[in-house]
Amino acid sequence: MNPLDLALFGTDPWWLVLIKVVVLFVVLLVWTIFNVWYERRLVGKMQHRLGPIMNGPFGLLQAVADGSKLIMKEDFRPKSADRVLFTLAPLIAGTAAFTAWSVIPFGGEVEIFGVRTRLQLTDLPISVLVLLAVASVGIYGFVLAGWSSNSPYSLLGALRSSAQMISYELSMGLALVAVFLHASSMSTAEIVDVQGQSFSFFGMDWGFQNWFFLQLFPSFAIYLISMVGETNRAPFDLPECESELVSGYLTEYSGFRYATYFLAEYINMATVSAIATTLFLGGFHAPWPINALVPAMDAGWWGPVWFFLKVQLLISVFVWLRGTLPRFRYDQFMTLGWKWLIPISLVWVMLISAVRVARAQNWLANPLVIGGSVVVVLALFGLWWWLDREPAPPAVDTAEFDPFAGGYPVPPMPGQRLPEQADVVSAEAERTDA
């Protein structure tokens, strides 16, 4: 595979970079307003309600009204809160949410005012690592919010948020390692370019694009679960669950600072969906068979159209989960991350690495190597099953059981036999006489 020419990045004139930054900022703000309306409307349809209908056509101005109310609302701060950190925390979360979009490609190469450029602010050889680093910095915004509020509910929410994000960032990062290995690059533009090539298997060209979600489906599934946990969305909204922590780390926030967190949450939801689109769903490329039948719709200014449609589809998955699934218990949530997602990701990355080495060394041509590999995998699976099997239940006394022994009625254990009803009545009469 020839590497993608990244010479266009870093050569844009200053006015074109400024246009990209302003357009990106405006698009994210407008898109957030739309997603607030979209979520309320879609959840309403799922729950057989109308959703917002009063302000504007189809209630489109409801989200604008809510945002305006938050901006103009009086901004309170608890007397015992840390003044500097209380104000700095939402700024960190909001800045990290916008920064992540600087390396995400919206489209391919186009011409803007006579200048050839790509519909991406910039790209780096390690762009995906930049995305993970920015997401890690955003955690500080949530942790500092709970710490600086000097409130038990806020502190507990911040602790949950930090543990949750760190845990699910591990599984998310491991899910992306398979993409790095498969694309031989960490550049987002190069990864999208690889997925735009035709898929070939056993020397045959199958006619559709090489989207990674098919070849790396376990990584795609793990990433989808991790991105819901990373964004604190239902059913993983444990850091801000109303039934336990009022609003978690947001309990003491109001006004513009609360609106900043609200904005960061919805931008982060779009960010993780955009990363999934870029790394697994072909980025800005048109889906098959459109790309094969109408090649012109897979280039130029059509790229942002396909990109936003894919991202919006993944955002619909967030809404679907919120409208259908109950909230997890915290122990169930952490068990899912540490005992399932991370071990499965490690095994999958090792398998992908072994297959790539086998292809490079031409080991797959030897039937003995293939048979030996299958035997080793089956042996490891059998060992895991034997170690994870449930222990035998303890022996149970099957003798006659007196539920009133000790003075309090208790239910029998499995296998114990209750006495006849007449014996129970006589035993109770004797106990009453005594």
Residues 261, 142: Cα–Cα separation, whole Å: 9
126-to-131, 158, 180 alpha-carbon distances in Å: 9, 30, 10
Both tokens of 109, joined, read: 């190469």
In whole angstroms, what is the distance from residue 129 CA to residue 133 CA? Answer: 6
User: 421 and 382: one domain?
Assistant: no
406 and 278 part of one domain:
no
Indicate whether 275 and 408 sit together in one domain: no
Tokens of 149: 């509020």
Asked if 206 and 334 sit in the same domain, the reply is: yes
Any domain includes 346: yes
What pLDDT is recorded for position 427?
56
pLDDT reported for residue 83 = 84
Are 188 and 104 within 8 A, CB to CB? Answer: yes
Q: 3-state secondary structure string, the chain? A: CCCCCCCCCCCCCHHHHHHHHHHHHHHHHHHHHHHHHHHHHHHHHHCCCCCCCCCCHHHCCHHHHHHHHHHHCCCCCCCCCCHHHHHHHHHHHHHHHHHHHHHCCCCCEEEECCEEEECCCCCCCCHHHHHHHHHHHHHHHHHHHHHHHCCHHHHHHHHHHHHHHHHHHHHHHHHHHHHHHHHCCCCHHHHHHHHCCEEEECCEEEEEECCHHHHCHHHHHHHHHHHHHHCCCCCCCHHHCHHHHCCHHHCCCCHHHHHHHHHHHHHHHHHHHHHHHHHHCCCCCCCCCHHHHCHHHHCHHHHHHHHHHHHHHHHHHHHHHHHHCCCCCHHHHHHHHHHHHHHHHHHHHHHHHHHHHHHHCCHHHCHHHHHHHHHHHHHHHHHHHHHHCCCCCCCCCCCECCCCCCCCCCCCCCCCECCCHHHHHHHHHHHHHC
Structural domains in the chain (count):
2
pLDDT at position 18, please?
Answer: 93
Q: What is the pLDDT of residue 53?
A: 84
What whole-number distance in Å separates Cα of residue 416 and Cα of residue 199?
63
214 plus 170 within the same structural domain: yes
Question: Residues 186, 321: one domain?
Answer: yes
The tokens describing 309, both together, are: 């449609």
Q: Residue 221's CB: how many other CB atoms inside 10 A?
A: 14
- On whether residue 358 sits in a domain, the answer given is yes
Is 284 a domain residue? Answer: yes
43 located within any domain: no
Same domain flag for 221 and 176: yes
Classify residue 27: in a domain, yes or no. Answer: no
Cβ proximity of 206 and 23 under 8 Å:
no
Query: From residue 365, how far is each of 11, 148, 206, 215, 328 by CA, in Å?
Result: 46, 61, 22, 21, 47
Answer whether 178's CB lies under 8 Å from 219's CB: yes
Indicate whether 184 belongs to any domain: yes
Which tens digits make up the pLDDT trace of 291-302? 878 888 888 889
Q: Which two tokens stand for residue 160?
A: 């949950």
Q: Is residue 12 part of a domain?
A: no
* 427 within 8 A of 402, measured Cβ to Cβ: yes
CB 123 within 8 A of CB 162: no
Is position 271 within any domain? yes
Domain closes at, from 367, 387, 407:
387
Give me the residues paired with residue 200 across strands: 205
Domain holding 412, by residue range, is 393-434
Mean pLDDT by 10 residues, the chain (434 residues): 56 89 93 92 89 85 86 82 87 90 90 88 89 87 87 85 84 91 89 81 62 90 92 82 77 85 89 94 87 83 93 94 86 88 90 82 68 75 73 62 67 66 55 60
The answer to whether 275 and 104 are in contact (CB under 8 A) is yes
Residue closest to 272 by CA, chosen among 369, 175, 149, 350: 175
Residue 248: CB partners within 8 Å, gap ≥ 6?
146, 153, 154, 156, 157, 158, 160, 161, 239, 240, 241
Specify whether 397 is located in the same domain as 308: no
Q: Token pair for residue 353?
A: 């690495």
Domain identity same for 373 and 408? no
The fraction of the chain above a pLDDT of 70, given in percent, is 83
Together in a domain, 301 and 412: no
Torsion (CA) 230, 233, 237, 243 in degrees, nearest 10: 170
- Cβ neighbour number for residue 126 with a 10 Å cutoff: 15
Query: Are 288 and 406 members of one domain?
Result: no
Same domain, 98 and 235: yes
